[in-house]
Amino acid sequence: KNEVEQSPQNLTAQEGEFITINCSYSVGISALHWLQQHPGGGIVSLFMLSSGKKKHGRLIATINIQEKHSSLHITASHPRDSAVYICAVTWRRRSQGNLIFGKGTKLSVKP
Amino acid sequence: NAGVMQNPRHLVRRRGQEARLRCSPMKGHSHVYWYRQLPEEGLKFMVYLQKENIIDESGMPKERFSAEFPKEGPSILRIQQVVRGDSAAYFCASSLSGDTQYFGPGTRLTVL
């Protein structure tokens, strides 16, 4: 069993839909990261959070430490949101640079 | 302010050759991380460095792989005697003080 599990693996949505991607983890963490990997391969860090909720534009990330669960929401989705979204955690027992990654959720938004 | 730069973007090597991958962190960043993404697989941590020091190399194979981040110049990930299984995308990231990581565009290594 992976230490970081994401669901769904693949997601197809129509433009304008509200999207939720889930991440569950099994270890004690000091931080959780959401990353976006573009079709060309580049990676962008979207959020780093250790509690509560963060919002940036149409993206919202939440984390529930007790339940070891995080969600990434995209409101009013757009085709340009099509990418792989990756959840990663910093395990409390490891150095802060040692991220453990989920396998990613491939999102495709159709016009 | 330029982002994280990696070069080369694509590197082709024959089995047994050496591969050197370079990473220039964002200006002012002293924390550098290297990750590997094998084809059709997720990202895996390799090594975490601060200037002149290796902080955590627990993800790096024990043989043939080494990394450095000298006082001056870029961080280097060196792979000696490459094998086909080393073919992957290698990403570098940097951070100011261990917080948000900024990723480079990656180096795609192909071993023939």
B contact test, residue of A48, A85, A92, A98 with most B CBs within 10 A: A98
Q: What is the least distance, in Å, from the CA of A16 to any CA of chain B?
A: 28
Residue B79 to residues A1, B2, B48, B89, Cα–Cα distance (Å) = 30, 27, 16, 13
For residues A84 and A6, what is the distance between their CA atoms, to the nearest angstrom?
11
DSSP code string of A23-76: EEE-S-EEEEEEEEE-TTS-EEEEEEESSEEEEETTEEEEEETTTTEEEEEESS
Query: Which tokens belong to A40?
Result: 């060309």
- Positions of chain A with pLDDT under 50: none
CA distance B66 to chain A (A): 17
Residues B27-67: pLDDT tens digits? 999 999 999 998 888 899 999 999 889 999 999 998 999 99
CB atoms A101 and B59 under 8 Å: no
How, if at all, do strands A10-14 and A105-110 pair?
parallel
Cα end-to-end span (Å), chain B = 37
Confidence of residue B23 (pLDDT cuts 50, 70, 90): very high
Query: What confidence tens digit (pLDDT) does each residue in A31-51 have?
Result: 999 999 998 888 999 999 999
